Amino acid sequence: GAVVSQHPSWVICKSGTSVKIECRSLDFQATTMFWYRQFPKQSLMLMATSNEGSKATYEQGVEKDKFLINHASLTLSTLTVTSAHPEDSSFYICSAFSGRRSYEQYFGPGTRLTVT
Amino acid sequence: AQSVTQPDIHITVSEGASLELRCNYSYGATPYLFWYVQSPGQGLQLLLKYFSGDTLVQGIKGFEAEFKRSQSSFNLRKPSVHWSDAAEYFCAVGAGSNTGKLIFGQGTTLQVKP
């Protein structure tokens, strides 16, 4: 199956700093990438949909100025958490969608963000 | 609006016993349905999917699921559970059109007793 990587796998940062998380589709071109947030023992919450070359579409309640998403190429999307605060600590997961087979997304391994 | 419900938050079964995880969906048209598994601290792995055709679908790791339109259900089953199956299981439905967007259920935690 298709492979999606995320980097870093875990990161600790201080409150007020920004953190960038990369999501790469390694062996296919992703027309769309999705960013999810997952709290402990909870389901995945879709944050935003990222289409290559266009602005991301954010779900209701997600601050677009805080969670900056860039999808500069068909294999790379980045999520930048700006001015991070402890409440931003979470598990962030990306997925990539090729658009060829309906809804068949491939998920990255996730990034654990801890803000101190 | 589309939605997915997994009625069981936590299930414990003995190793070797059979397993059924429930999933109910709400969707106006023929749904695209998925089951994913997540091990602790990991991303999601696709177990199986239903798009059309045979309503009993086979997946990886010995799992299968049956689509029942009349019950709006897509329950996941395995005849004999292994200790390594302990994980979080998520049912998901395609959110409409060819956007790739998925709606996830709340998840079911599976614990396997030795």
Q: Are B81 and B19 in contact (CB under 8 A)?
A: yes
Domains, chain B: 3-113 (2.60.40.10)
b/e string for B95-108 if b means 16 or more Cβ within 10 A? Answer: bbeebbbbbbbebb
Q: How far apart are alpha carbons A95 and B46 in whole angstroms? A: 12
Residue B81 has pLDDT above 90, yes or no: yes
My answer on whether omega of the bond before B7 falls inside 30° of 0, hence cis, is no
The counts of H helices and E strands in chain A are 0, 11
Residues within 8 A of B (CB atoms), A 32-91 only: 32, 34, 41-44, 46, 49, 91
Residue A9 has pLDDT above 80, yes or no: yes
Chain segment B12-62, per-residue pLDDT in tens: 999 999 999 999 999 877 788 999 999 888 889 999 999 888 999 999 999
Structure tokens given for B56 = 């009993």
Chain segment A45-75, per-residue pLDDT in tens: 999 999 888 889 999 999 999 999 998 888 9
pLDDT at B64: 98
Strand order of the β-sheet with A76-81 is A4-7, A19-25, A76-81, A67-73
Residues in chain B whose Cβ is within 8 Å of chain A: 32, 34, 36, 41-46, 49, 51, 90, 94, 98-102, 104-107, 109
SS3 B69: helix
